[in-house]
Amino acid sequence: MIKIFTNLSFLITLFFLSHQNLQAQVDYNHQWPGFRGPWGCGFIESVSAPTTWSVDSTTNIKWKTPIPGLGHSCPVIWDDYLFVTTASNSKGSESLKVGLYGDIDQANDSVEHEFKIYCLDKRTGKIIWERIAHKGIPRSRRHTKSSQANCTPATNGKYLVVHFGSEGLYCYDFKGKLIWKKDMGLLTPGPYTDPGVEWGYASSPVIFKDKIIIQCDIPKTPYITALDLATGNEIWKTSRGDEVSTWCTPAIYSKDGKTQVIANGYTHICGYAFETGKEIWKLSNGGDAPAPTPVIANDLIYLNSAHGKCSPIFAVRPNATGDITLAPDSTKNKYIAWSIKRGGAYMQTPLIYRGYLYNLQVNGQLTCFDALTGEVKYKASLSEAFSASGIASDGKLYFSSEEGNVYVVNAGPEYKLLAKNVLKDICMATPAISGNILFFRTQHYLIAVE
């Protein structure tokens, strides 16, 4: 058994150091540089992650720091620095409605907001610095379950890139010095069936090598773009055609000197050349309001979404070219290893860990698939509303409900609940891991669990 897990850790190290062609060895047991951590995979190995804790008795609670305002962005970590964004209004009371409901209502954010970045000491929770990136009445509206700070920052250890949607894109150094800022225009995604309704922008920036990738699936002029990390200057910009509004963060696939940008969507699930933005392949028939991020694992590209008549999961081969859309009666073809037509998640990005794909739906339905074949291993109900994506470490899966209940599930083909921990605060953001510590961003706090 020890030999098996030693080999597993070695293979995971090779994934980070070889598969993605890293130019320098980085200790990814301690870095969580963007949405869902290293390469967006959602897990870290070779650490001792906690199973149980109590915010009441402070058992296994390392620190708990209040964060003003409202934000669904996730914490990002580099070495001992932890960064998070928020938006505070001048009245000091940001509205938020959670739970399972289908209203298209917009929140009333017609007062002045401060769009802020906090830098904390990961070890102590002490705030090192804070910066106001922008101050003013929000230029775009949001859904009642959303926030004005949805986008998770991204860092490469030198630069910190933060995106506040219609309030702009900003780049700082680790001392809080503004390097550059860029007006991205009005970014007002919303349901394509109800023009004029705005739900808030949520696609997080992705840093790879010397570029930032930004996906802007907005009404009328959707596009994806690459910017120079040091200056913010545009390198390329590619139209997303007739794509509807999405809330997806792009992903990077890099192997053998070839790199693709993968963008989820409804009519335009695509792979683009990293250097030029040229479309390589295209896949249609996703859910019509997609939010999940593509996931790279097992030398496959996993995509899922769920809304309207479609809720698929696709496992796409990275050598795909052209239009790879499935025939109506098919679940695979030359470039799609396997798929399901219904059962994908609406909000959550799937977690692929130790050979299995864990798909959690907004109603708490958890399904475990064999990641290579699509075979269903189990289904279990967590019986709550979920928006945050799952993460994993040390053979354990962590799923945070909107009400702040964290389900710790044993990794593997059989369902086993190890613990249910209560954060006692609303939790919409995906947690982060660094070393042996879990970091939860709740409505009012950052909480470190060790």
pLDDT tens for 380-426 read 999 999 999 999 999 999 999 999 999 999 999 999 999 999 999 99
Res 299: pLDDT: 96
pLDDT tens for 324-339 read 999 999 999 999 999 9
In the predicted model, is pLDDT for residue 15 greater than 50? no
Torsion of CA 355, 359, 364, 366, to 10 degrees: -40
Q: For residues 20 and 40, is the Cβ–Cβ distance under 8 A?
A: no
Average confidence (pLDDT) over 305-309: 92
Residue 30 tokens, joined: 């301690």
Report all structural domains of the chain as residue ranges with CATH numbers, in order of start: 2-449 (2.130.10.10)
H-type alpha helices, 241-360:
none
* Contacts of 221 by beta carbon, 8 Å cutoff, 6+ apart: 239
Res 90: pLDDT: 82
Res 46: pLDDT: 81
pTM of the model: 0.94
Res 26: pLDDT: 65
3-state SS assignment for residue 58 = coil
- Work out the pLDDT band at 218, boundaries 50, 70, 90: very high
DSSP H or E run through 13:
helix 2-14
Torsion of CA 293, 295, 300, 302, to 10 degrees: -50
